[in-house]
Structure 1
Amino acid sequence: MRLNYRIILLVLAMGLTKSSLAALNVFACEPEWASLAETLGGDRVKVVSATTAYQDPHRIEARPSLIAKVRRADLLVCSGAELEIGWLPMLQRQAGNPKVLRGQPGYFEAADQIERLGIPDSLDRSMGDIHASGNPHVHLDPRRLSTIATALSDRLANLDPTNADYYRKRHDEFSQTWEEALQRWKTRALPLVGARLVVHHQDWEYFFDWLGIIRVGSLEPKPGLPVSSGHIVKLKKRLQQEPPLAIIYTAYQSPRAAKRLSQITGIPAVELPYTVGGAEGVVDLFTLFDETLKRLLEVIP
């Protein structure tokens, strides 16, 4: 009887330990938020990402496997500003998980935490695929990302108060390392200040705002519209007077238009990782900015 009593106590103690370490299930809409959640949450979170660096986050199929993951989630972390409007609401409806609906603690939009760029004064479908809440690609400014990290850490602590001190400690460590990296990137990027670039889509506005880079053209004739040969010809004529540093595109965008414009103008086309996993060695947010700056600096004459 005494042995059985000891076994029961041991089982209960193991259960309490397991409970205190139980992972929060985090559903991240994009790889950058999966990486940030893993960094801040450590072994207290279990993170899945709905997308990869090779998928356009605007257009994702609401697959049954994703519905099942949303159904199990304690926290949903997305870019917001309507980036996921074409597929996330369907996942939420089908999953039937009230914890991760808008307005609940389990729903977190990164764009809500910072001052957004590109909020239109008016909306007109002739303008293309314009986001009413502003440009959603907020992770490409490390200053804003720092603010988002603080808010996400607080949310983890709110959802899992037992491990609040753990989340705060991890955030403090991240914040210190991030600020050091921010200063290093700023110094390294000085040659890019005032640089002129052509983009595929307007997903680099926050990065440009951070470094003072100028967008002088887009391969898309209007945001979200497909590239056309006629538009490429117009771009060529416009860029001949003052050629930009480069034409940039991401891992999830077709390189054909960028390479075609490069071929007829002599302007280098550069693929940038855009998010975690978008290039070899880009395994977290730190290496994302390291590699992005490296590739841009390599094309400076």
Structure 2
Amino acid sequence: MVRISSKLLLVTLLCFGSVQSAVAKLNVFACEPEYKALMNELAPNAKVYSATTAMQDPHMIQARPSLIAKLRRADLLVCAGAELEVGWLPMLQMKAANSAVRNANTGLFFGTDHIETLDKLDKVDRSMGDVHAQGNPHIQFDPYRLLQVADALHQRLIKLDPEHQTEYQQNFANFKQRWTQAIKGWEKKAAPLKGKQVIAYHSTFRYLFNWLRIKQVGDLEPKPGLPPSSSHLASLLSLSNKEHVSAIVITSYQDSKGGQWLSKKTDIPFLQLPATVGADNTQDLFQLYDTVIVKLNGAIQ
């Protein structure tokens, strides 16, 4: 029989415990790819899962068993908020029965809770279509607001995992430095886009247009959430003849038929922009912004 001394056993257990602690990771459930990408910047060692892809409309997702299982194991739930996920997230939270991701002070994080949103509404009713009283939730294309979200998110990570406070602080500082520098380059490249007019699908790029001073003069949707109708497209055709429209813009997950029809009728460039990380082979937030500005410049100029 091999005997192990108590001292050796203690050392073995301590070593095993330290390894376990080192490999322990936060489980993060991100509602959209842009929040998964942001988490990768702030907590690269975390295990992050995105509920949606760049080819899915984040308004309309099914509470599938696989999503329920992922959320049940999550330590942190990170989403856009402002009712973007109202059609599926509450059901997912209920079925997952994970109290950790229901508390907005700990495991539940909505990006829009930490910035001033655009287009807030005092009253909302069904006649207005799919609008959000708390403001436009598609904040991923405002680099300044996104930096505010990153700041708040890194502080939440510290609250959840104080043992790694220094790492989170360093990761955020590094991201902030690179992001701030990148903004200068993006704004310089996008300067010629200022004042240009576009027709777009939904208000997905509301923050992008606001940041770059591009004016959306028409919407392919007759009302938010409704597909383009023949009569509405006819009205946009009339609008295009009156206004100097530089591009017709949609996202990677929106139906392109209406926009392509209008483009052919008007000879206005038709442009499909990535709505989030993953589309157009983008791997992170930096590549997403690079791609969007290059494509806008190519189409509009």
Pairwise same-fold verdict (TM > 0.5): yes
Query: Could you say which residue in structure 1 is the equivalent of 2:19?
Result: 17
Query: Could you say which residue in structure 1 is the equivalent of 2:293?
Result: 293
The within-5 A match list for 1:1-301 is: 1-2=3-4, 5-43=7-45, 45-280=46-281, 282-301=282-301
Whichever residue aligns with residue 136 of structure 2, its letter is N
The answer as to whether partners of 1:20 and 1:163 remain within 8 angstroms in 2 is no
CA distance in 2, matches of 1:70, 1:53: 20
Q: For each residue in 1:159-216, what CA deviation from the matched residue of structure 2 results, as whole angstroms up to 9, or x when unmatched? A: 0001111111111001000000011101111001111111111111111111111011
Deviates more, 1:230-239 or 1:16-25: 16-25
Whichever residue aligns with residue 265 of structure 1, its letter is T
Shift of 1:256: 1.1
- Normalising to structure 2: TM-score of the pair? 0.96
Q: For each residue in 1:103-151, what CA deviation from the matched residue of structure 2 results, as whole angstroms up to 9, or x when unmatched? A: 3400000000100001113223221111111100011101100000000
Deviates more, 1:246-255 or 1:119-128: 119-128
SS of alignment partner, residue 270 of structure 1? strand
Shift of 1:21: 3.9
SS of alignment partner, residue 123 of structure 1? coil
CA distance in 2, matches of 1:104, 1:242: 47
Against the structure 1 CA distance between its residues 223 and 102, is the aligned structure 2 distance closer, same or farther, given a 3 Å change threshold? farther
Whichever residue aligns with residue 58 of structure 1, its letter is H
Whichever residue aligns with residue 271 of structure 2, its letter is V
SS of alignment partner, residue 104 of structure 2? coil
CA distance in 2, matches of 1:225, 1:255: 14
SS of alignment partner, residue 94 of structure 1? helix
Q: For each residue in 1:37-94, what CA deviation from the matched residue of structure 2 results, as whole angstroms up to 9, or x when unmatched? A: 1110011x10000000000000000000000011000000000000000000000000
CA distance in 2, matches of 1:57, 1:198: 21
Shift of 1:11: 3.6
SS of alignment partner, residue 56 of structure 1? coil
CA distance in 1, matches of 2:257, 2:9: 66
Shift of 1:242: 2.2
Deviates more, 1:8-17 or 1:230-239: 8-17
SS of alignment partner, residue 189 of structure 1? helix
Shift of 1:229: 1.4
Q: For each residue in 1:8-36, what CA deviation from the matched residue of structure 2 results, as whole angstroms up to 9, or x when unmatched? A: 41242132232144100000000000010
Whichever residue aligns with residue 300 of structure 1, its letter is I
Whichever residue aligns with residue 99 of structure 1, its letter is A
> Which structure 2 residue ranges, 5 or more long, are not aligned?
none
CA distance in 1, matches of 2:4, 2:129: 75
CA distance in 1, matches of 2:10, 2:228: 67
**Count of aligned pairs:** 299
SS of alignment partner, residue 278 of structure 1? strand
